[in-house]
Amino acid sequence: MKSIRAVTIGVVVVVIVSTLVDFVLHAIGVLPPTSQPLPDMSALLATAYRFVIGIAAAWLTARIAPDRPMAHAMFLGYVGFVLSLVGVVATWNMGLGPHWYPIALVVLAIPQCWIGGRLYARQSLPGSI
């Protein structure tokens, strides 16, 4: 149960924090209104902050995992990969922005979680800073 909780918390953190950042950036005009397609530079910004959020969520998942923190962080990456792939299929012809953007989210799902898991592993080693 604790393993499921750790990964679920990671997923919830990604969804909530990404949505909040999207909302704020739309509200202050950094991102275009949701009724308009996302231009390439806005998609690049969204990719960057989602990558950082994914790393943080994987770190948190590893931190609260009952054991094998890296395995839990990677499982979060696999979940993110699948959910992102579903997003690609569901939104492909909707004209929401460049096609590379949802593909980038799929491609980055596992590496960002590996980084987050490794960051936690490095911090949790005895004598590490």
What is 53-108 written as a DSSP string?
HHHHHHHHHHHH-SS-HHHHHHHHHHHHHHHHHHHHHHHTTS-SS-THHHHHHHHH
The pLDDT tens digits for 6-59 are 999 999 999 999 999 999 999 999 999 999 999 999 999 999 999 999 999 999
Structure tokens of 92?
């492909």
Q: Give the structural domain span for 100.
A: 2-124
Whether residue 62 lies inside any domain: the answer is yes
Q: Is residue 19 part of a domain?
A: yes
Domain membership of residue 129 (yes or no) is no
Q: What is the pTM of this model?
A: 0.93
Q: How many structural domains comprise the chain? A: 1
In a domain, 22, yes or no: yes
Tell me whether residue 18 is in a domain: yes
Q: For residue 52, is it within any domain?
A: yes
Per-residue pLDDT tens for 60-95?
999 999 999 999 999 999 999 999 999 999 999 999
